[in-house]
Structure 1
């Protein structure tokens, strides 16, 4: 963890952003007192874990056949 004052953070922002992106935590201080923390954001490219919605909803048992008659009516069979 690196602690820097606001003036230094302003003049070296790109450097500290690169360090934070690499996983380091940067503390920004005013008059020696910590006021902010610069950390990397979670990468959006990481796959989300499976099972986040478990137990929140249920699929109807006949889901594959919902509105089956209406769908079949839109596509008539072979002409005789």
Structure 2
């Protein structure tokens, strides 16, 4: 903890802010009477969820990635659909 008069703090504010960033507490005085305290802001780190925390909670069906031709047509549109040109091309070997 450092006690300083207002004049000293005004003259070298960036120096004392650096001290505060390092964890120091600065007491600002006016005519040797404490009037303010400058201290670092306490920040809490967000807890990041651990990868794989839900592993085993849900079983993906074996046919999850397989879509029928009817489902693909409903999803991507038929051949006459004007928006079909924006659909991703199928990477399948069979039709």
Question: Which TM-score tier does this pair reach, normalised by the shorter chain?
Answer: 0.5 to 0.7
Q: Larger radius of gyration, structure 1 or 2?
A: 2
In structure 2, the residue matched to 1:37 is: 37
Please give the root-mean-square deviation of Cα atoms over the aligned residues, in Å: 2.4
In structure 2, the residue matched to 1:47 is: 46
| Alignment coverage as a number of residue pairs | 52
Higher relative contact order (CA 8 A, sep 6+): 1
In structure 2, the residue matched to 1:6 is: 6
In structure 2, the residue matched to 1:28 is: 28
| TM-score, with structure 2 as normaliser | 0.47
What are the ranges of 5 or more consecutive residues in structure 2 without an aligned counterpart? 48-69, 74-95
| Residue 40 of structure 1: how far off its partner (Å) | 1.0
| TM-score, with structure 1 as normaliser | 0.55
What are the ranges of 5 or more consecutive residues in structure 1 without an aligned counterpart? 49-76
Secondary structure of the residue aligned to 1:36 is: strand
